[in-house]
Structure 1
Amino acid sequence: MKPINPLRLLLICVILAVAGWSATVVTSRYSMATPVLPSTALATMGVIVVITLILGIRILRWRNSHQPNSKTKKTQLDPLLAARTLVLAQACAYAGTVLLGWHVGIFLDQLRIWSLRSDQGITWLALAMAGGGLVMIVVGLLVERFCRIPPEDGDTPGADGKKGRTARGEAAGEGEYAYRGD
C-alpha cells in the first residue's frame, strides 16, 4: 500500500473548495438551502476519529514493544487488524479532505455576505465542519505513520545498499507498514 501523498490531498481540497463555493452560489441564486452538513455530523466525525486513534494506538504500542531495547513481552500483531487500521486511517484522511474542501468553499462564500445576514449560524457551522475535516486529516496521517515499521539495525542491506529492511512491493523506497500486503 502506498502512503498518502499530501499534494494529492491538497489538490482534492482545492477542487472541492471550488465545488462547494459553486454549489453555494447556485443554491443562493435559486433561494435553496445552503449545502452544509448538519451539526450532528460533527458527532459522527468525532466517533470516526476516536476509533481511528484507538486502533492506531494499538498498532503503535505493538510497534514500540518490538524495539531492540524493549523488555516487554513479544506478542503477535494480527495482520488483518493492521491492514484495516491502515485503510481506516487513509480513508479518514481522504474523507477529512473532502469535508474540509467542501466546507471551506461554503465558508468563503458565506463570508462575503457576512454583514448582510442576520443569522450567521450557517457560516459558523461550515467553519466547524471544516475544522472537523482538518482534525480527520491530521488523525488519519498520524495513524498512518503509526502503522509504519521502523528499519532495524543489523538487517541485511536493502536493494539500495542501506541497512534496514528490504523494500518490497509498492512501498519500495517509501517505508513499510506493519501490514505487509504483497
Structure 2
Amino acid sequence: MNGIRPLWLLLILLVSGGLGWVAALLTAEAGVVAPVLVRSSTITLGSVALLVLVLGIRVQRDKKRPPAARMNPLVATRTLALAQAGAYAGSLIAGWHGGVLVHLTSATGFGTPTVNDALLMVVGGLVLVIVGYIVEQFCRLPPEDRADGTTDANGRNGEGHRGQTGPAYGAEGEGGYARTNNS
C-alpha cells in the first residue's frame, strides 16, 4: 500500500473544483439550486474525521507497547486505509464545494445560506484531508522497529523499500506497509 500522494490530492481538488464550478454554472442557468451538500453534512464529515483521529491515536499509543503485545496488524492497516480514503474523499468534497463557492460568491456574494453551506463543506473536506494525513503518519513505525526484528542485507529494517520512508505499523509487507500473517 502506498502513502497519500499530495500531488494526487491537489489534482483531485483542482479537477473536482472545476467540475463543481461548471455544475454550479449550469444549475444557475437552469434556475435550479446549486449542488451543495446541506449543512448537516458537516456533522458527518466531522464525525468521520473524529473517528479516524481516534483510531489513529489508538494505533499511535499501541506502538509504545512491546511488539508481542501489540494489536493485530490488520487493525492498524484498516486504520491506515480509512485515513487515506478520508484524505482523498476530503479532497474531492473540498474541491467540488470550492468550485461551487467560487461561482456562488461571484454571483451572490457572501452571507447567503448556500454560500455558507459550501464554505462549511470546503472547511470540513480540508479538515478530513489533514486528519487523514496525520493518521497516516501515526500508522508508520520507525525503521528500527521492524516486527520480526530482522534486517535486510544492507542492515536496514525495511527502510527505503520501494521508495517508502519506513514500514507501517505491523509486519512489513509490499511497499513497506503492513500485511497480515493470515494472507
TM bucket, shorter chain = 0.7 to 0.9
Equivalent residue for 2:60?
A: 60
Q: Offset of 1:167 from its aligned partner?
A: 4.9
Q: Within 5 Å, give how 1:4-83 maps onto structure 2.
A: 4-66=4-66, 75-83=69-77
1:63-142 alignment, distance < 5 Å: 63-66=63-66, 75-115=69-109, 120-142=112-134
**Whole-Å separation in 2 of the counterparts to 1:53 and 1:153:** 23
- Shift of the 105–153 alpha-carbon distance from structure 1 to 2, 3 Å rule, reads closer
| 1:80 Cα offset (Å) | 2.0
Report the TM-score when normalising by structure 2.
0.84
Q: Does the CA contact (< 8 Å) of 1:158 and 1:167 recur in 2? A: no
Q: Take 1:99 and 1:3, find their aligned partners in 2: how far apart are those partners?
A: 20
- TM-score, length basis structure 1: 0.84
Q: Distance in 2 between matches of 1:97 and 1:165?
A: 33
Alignment check: 8 A CA contact 1:153 1:164 kept: no
Deviation at 1:78, TM superposition (A): 1.2
RMSD of Structure 2 on Structure 1 (CA): 2.4
Kindly state the Cα deviation for residue 153 of structure 1 after the two structures are TM-superposed. 7.8
For residue 177 of structure 1, give the secondary structure of its aligned residue in structure 2: coil
Q: Which residue of 2 aligns with 1:172?
A: 162
Identity %: 37
What runs of 5+ residues in structure 1 fail to find an aligned partner?
Answer: 68-73
Structure 1, residues 32-57: CA drift from partner, whole Å, max 9, x if none?
11100011111111111111111100
Does the CA-based 8 Å contact 2:91-2:126 persist in structure 1? yes
Cα distance in structure 2, aligned partners of 1:127 and 1:31: 21
Structure 2: gaps of 5 or more residues: 171-177
**Aligned partners of 2:163, 2:84: CA distance in 1, in Å?**
19
